[in-house]
């Protein structure tokens, strides 16, 4: 009797001779030695496959799919306070030549203006539009009914980043002060899993990230603010970056220039090879607070190019290539008009941390509106999707966990659900 062995489901093989399921490791142990006759332990007779080459290919496929599922990498990229309006409409016609916010309107128009918004947005974020929208899934274009908001009641950074990385809203996180986060991020949870030990890292331009990730408790590797690179073998290039970071002044006391964050993160990726990383760019928010719309646009484009560089690096590096999902999200939106575009705050936050903005008695309307993008081997190429129900920022954590092969509830039973638009066919 000739038995066939077929790949039927996941990592299990069904021997159709005796109708017994086998694990691939069982096959793996026996294939190299006895590939002419495959004898499964417990089977009464030797199984003589009709087509050995076919079985060998099935075995290779099994091993490959099994490895790739278990070993997916993930990078969460955040852009601080970049409005959905710029992402989906390009430069704002009410701001691009505004004398209060732009030093050289003609030069800025030369760089970013086009009558058609579809051309205009490509000029601002070419990688986003030419690659991410083409190959991935994007949410947040309110002009076509694609909606996403923060779920926290404050509309500023610490509560936003906490929501992104913990998957829950903790209303007690109501300031940007350097207070260790009482909530646990999915990075911290993964850090407790054996296979992720030393395989997680976060890089950020803002010096509050060590508190958002609660490094004292989480023991995560976080390089943020004006931290130097260290704790692993440093290349000559990174040693130079460490020196330059001390020598080149940042415009801000608590945020470094994103070029440092990007290059430290990229070098760490190539040298230490983490499985999961967060990279948090900050310039867009700080230039907006400064009222520098020209610098805000240039920062948006630079960040787009950083993400392009990151994606190129991923797709040319063994272990990461075709094996790394990238999620991109922002911590909050901003105002919609020349009067309020610089700011972001909820009405409720005016009574507390944001009381400096109380001349906007309703808070900054619309600053809860955010956007999201994803690209990678498990992300469908759906482009900008309309949402049936508004997506929340708190759903990013469960999305990340699911892409890493975990049930999000095992991390936190109260976690908001994963973003259905990435996983459900009907959407």
Instruction: Specify whether the CB–CB gap between 349 and 174 falls below 8 A.
Output: yes
Contact characters 142-181, Zn ion, x per CB under 5 A: ----------------------------------------
Between CA 230 and CA 225 the distance in angstroms is: 14
Residues 1-60 contacting Zn ion, CB under 5 A: none
Nearer to Zn ion, 113 or 161 (CB): 161
Binding part of the chain for Zn ion, among 50-58, 225-233, 271-279, 284-292 by CB under 5 A, reads: 284-292
Rounded to the nearest 10 degrees, how much is the dihedral formed by the CA atoms of 121, 122, 127, 130? 120
Residue nearest to Zn ion (CB): 285
Binding part of the chain for Zn ion, among 19-27, 160-168, 174-182, 280-288 by CB under 5 A, reads: 280-288
How many Å separate Cα 241 from the centre of its chain?
A: 24
Supply the minimum distance, in Å, between the C-beta of residue 266 and Zn ion: 25
Nearer to Zn ion, 73 or 149 (CB): 149
Binding part of the chain for Zn ion, among 146-154, 192-200, 277-285, 414-422 by CB under 5 A, reads: 277-285
Residues 51-90 contacting Zn ion, CB under 5 A: 81
Contact between 304 and Zn ion per CB under 5 A? no
Decide the pairing of beta strands 73-79 and 324-330. Answer: parallel
Nearer to Zn ion, 159 or 167 (CB): 159
Single out the residue of 323, 387, 298 nearest to residue 86, CA to CA.
298
Provide the strand spans (E) within 120-191: 137-139, 148-149
Contact between 368 and Zn ion per CB under 5 A? no
Decide the pairing of beta strands 20-23 and 276-281. Answer: unpaired
Nearer to Zn ion, 331 or 378 (CB): 331
| 9 strand-pairing partners | 12
Contact between 331 and Zn ion per CB under 5 A? no
Supply the minimum distance, in Å, between the C-beta of residue 176 and Zn ion: 8
Instruction: Specify whether the CB–CB gap between 339 and 146 falls below 8 A.
Output: no
The residues near 317 (Cβ < 8 Å, ≥ 6 apart) are 269, 270
Nearer to Zn ion, 81 or 210 (CB): 81
Nearer to Zn ion, 33 or 253 (CB): 253
Single out the residue of 167, 79, 194, 67 nearest to residue 125, CA to CA.
79
Single out the residue of 275, 267, 297 nearest to residue 284, CA to CA.
297
Decide the pairing of beta strands 372-375 and 148-149. Answer: unpaired
The burial class, CB within 10 Å (0-12 / 13-18 / 19+), for 95 is: buried
The residues near 242 (Cβ < 8 Å, ≥ 6 apart) are 228, 229, 230, 234
Nearer to Zn ion, 49 or 282 (CB): 282
Place of tokens 């310039």: 283
Instruction: Give the number of C-alpha atoms closer than 13 A to the C-alpha of residue 343, restricted to the C-beta side.
Output: 21
Supply the minimum distance, in Å, between the C-beta of residue 157 and Zn ion: 6
Supply the minimum distance, in Å, between the C-beta of residue 253 and Zn ion: 14
Supply the minimum distance, in Å, between the C-beta of residue 161 and Zn ion: 11
Supply the minimum distance, in Å, between the C-beta of residue 345 and Zn ion: 9
Nearer to Zn ion, 80 or 421 (CB): 80
Nearer to Zn ion, 280 or 419 (CB): 280
Residue 318 phi, psi dihedral angles, 5° rounding: -55, 140
Residue in 285, 368, 378, 421 binding Zn ion, rule: CB under 5 A: 285
Supply the minimum distance, in Å, between the C-beta of residue 283 and Zn ion: 11
Binding part of the chain for Zn ion, among 49-57, 126-134, 278-286, 319-327 by CB under 5 A, reads: 278-286
Supply the minimum distance, in Å, between the C-beta of residue 101 and Zn ion: 16
Report the interface residues with Zn ion, using CB under 5 A.
81, 285
């Amino acid at each position: 009797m000739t038995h066939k062995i077929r790949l039927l489901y996941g990592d299990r093989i069904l021997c159709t001779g005796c109708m017994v399921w086998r694990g691939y490791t069982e096959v793996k142990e026996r294939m190299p030695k006895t590939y002419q006759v495959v004898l499964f332990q417990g089977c009464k007779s030797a199984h003589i496959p009709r087509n050995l080459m076919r079985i060998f290919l099935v075995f290779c496929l099994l091993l490959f799919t099994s490895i790739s599922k278990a070993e997916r990498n993930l990078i969460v990229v955040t852009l601080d306070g970049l409005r959905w309006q710029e992402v989906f409409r390009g430069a704002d016609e009410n701001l691009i030549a505004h004398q209060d916010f732009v030093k050289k309107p003609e030069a800025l128009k030369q760089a970013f203006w086009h009558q058609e918004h579809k051309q205009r947005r490509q000029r601002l974020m070419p990688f986003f539009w030419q690659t991410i929208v083409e190959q991935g899934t994007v949410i947040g274009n309110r002009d076509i009914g694609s909606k996403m908001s923060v779920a926290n009641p404050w509309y500023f950074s610490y509560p936003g980043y906490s929501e992104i990385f913990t998957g829950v809203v903790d209303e007690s996180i109501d300031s940007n002060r350097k207070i260790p986060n009482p909530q646990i991020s999915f990075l911290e949870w993964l850090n407790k899993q054996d296979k992720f030990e030393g395989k997680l890292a976060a890089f950020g331009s803002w010096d509050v990230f060590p508190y958002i990730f609660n490094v004292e408790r989480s023991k995560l590797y976080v390089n943020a603010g004006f931290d130097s690179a260290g704790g692993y073998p440093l290349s000559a290039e990174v040693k130079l970056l460490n020196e330059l970071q001390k020598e080149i002044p940042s415009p801000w006391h608590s945020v470094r220039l994103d070029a440092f964050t990007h290059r430290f993160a990229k070098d760490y990726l190539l040298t230490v090879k983490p499985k999961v990383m967060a990279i948090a760019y900050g310039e867009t928010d700080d230039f907006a607070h400064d009222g520098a719309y020209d610098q805000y646009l240039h920062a948006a484009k630079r960040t787009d190019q950083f993400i392009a560089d990151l994606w190129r690096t991923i797709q040319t590096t063994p272990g990461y290539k075709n094996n790394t999902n990238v999620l991109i999200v922002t911590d909050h939106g901003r105002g919609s008009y020349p009067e309020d575009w610089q700011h972001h705050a909820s009405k409720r936050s005016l009574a507390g941390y944001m009381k400096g903005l109380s001349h906007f008695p309703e808070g900054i309307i619309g600053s809860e509106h955010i956007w999201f993008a994803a690209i990678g081997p498990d992300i469908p190429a759906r482009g900008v999707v309309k949402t049936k129900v508004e997506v929340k920022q708190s759903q990013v954590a469960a999305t990340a966990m699911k892409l890493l092969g975990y049930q999000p509830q095992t991390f936190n039973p109260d976690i908001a659900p994963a973003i259905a638009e990435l996983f459900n066919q009907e959407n």
